[in-house]
């Protein structure tokens, strides 16, 4: 074997090693992205659970949220303040999901499922009023995205799409919601 043929064999081995390294890096990128999406999914579901747990633990807040979604003006000043903070908490979850999806860190189907609920929620008269008055505190790109979607959603009581959110049902069963 000549020195030249040893050189070509060495070059071939080097190219194969580089290709193998690149394939390894590509597999690692895919695995890391999948792990990132899994962590994002867990974070979103934990956020949702925390919001639900908060409502379950605070019946006054739950009633404020139901009444505020129907008509924000039906709330007194303190209730409007709590309602506003609650709306920020819920809408922040939507904003988080939106940005995670833009970074390709969240499964599209998860966002679609959550977003259908959020669109119904923000179509409620009180929530839509809240959105129009307070969206300036959120990311402008997210606000534009949501506003475009809301332009295609009629304002209607949330109880029309989901009777669970009918505040009159809560008043009838008031004894079950006392803290």
Q: What is the pLDDT of residue 162?
A: 78
Q: Beta-carbon neighbour count of residue 121 at 10 Å?
A: 21
Q: In 3D, which of 86, 103, 89 has the Cα closest to residue 40?
A: 103
Q: What is the pLDDT of residues 39-67, one digit of tens each?
A: 888 988 999 999 999 999 999 999 999 99
Helix axes 140-150, 108-123, angle to 10 degrees: 70
Q: What is the pLDDT of residues 61-102, one digit of tens each?
A: 999 999 999 999 999 999 999 999 999 999 999 999 999 999
* Integer Cα distance of 75 and 1 in angstroms: 91
Q: What is the pLDDT of residues 95-127, one digit of tens each?
A: 999 999 999 888 889 899 999 999 999 999 999
H-only helix segments in the chain: 3-57, 59-70, 77-102, 108-123, 125-134, 140-150, 158-161, 167-172
CB-CB contact of 84 with 138 (8 Å): no
Cβ-in-10-Å burial (0-12, 13-18, 19+) of 100 comes to buried
* Integer Cα distance of 119 and 100 in angstroms: 18
Residues in the chain: 179
Share of the chain above pLDDT 70, in %: 94
Backbone angles phi, psi at 171, to 5 degrees: -60, -35
């Amino acid at each position: 074997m000549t020195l030249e043929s040893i050189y070509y064999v060495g070059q071939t081995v080097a190219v194969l090693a580089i290709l193998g390294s690149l394939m390894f890096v590509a597999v690692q990128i895919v695995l890391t992205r999948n792990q990132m999406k899994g962590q994002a999914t867990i974070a979103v579901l934990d956020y949702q659970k925390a919001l639900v747990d908060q409502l379950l633990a605070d019946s006054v807040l739950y009633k404020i949220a139901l009444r505020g979604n129907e008509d924000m003006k039906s709330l007194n000043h303190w209730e409007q303040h709590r309602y506003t903070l609650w709306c920020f908490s819920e809408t922040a979850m939507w904003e988080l999901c939106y940005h995670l999806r833009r970074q390709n860190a969240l499964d599209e189907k998860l966002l679609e499922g959550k977003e259908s609920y959020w669109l119904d929620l923000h179509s409620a008269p009180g929530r839509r009023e809240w959105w129009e008055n307070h969206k300036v505190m959120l990311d402008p790109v997210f606000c534009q995205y949501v506003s475009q979607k809301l332009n295609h959603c009629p304002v209607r009581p949330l109880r029309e799409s989901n009777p669970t959110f009918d505040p009159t049902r809560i008043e009838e069963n008031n004894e079950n919601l006392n803290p």
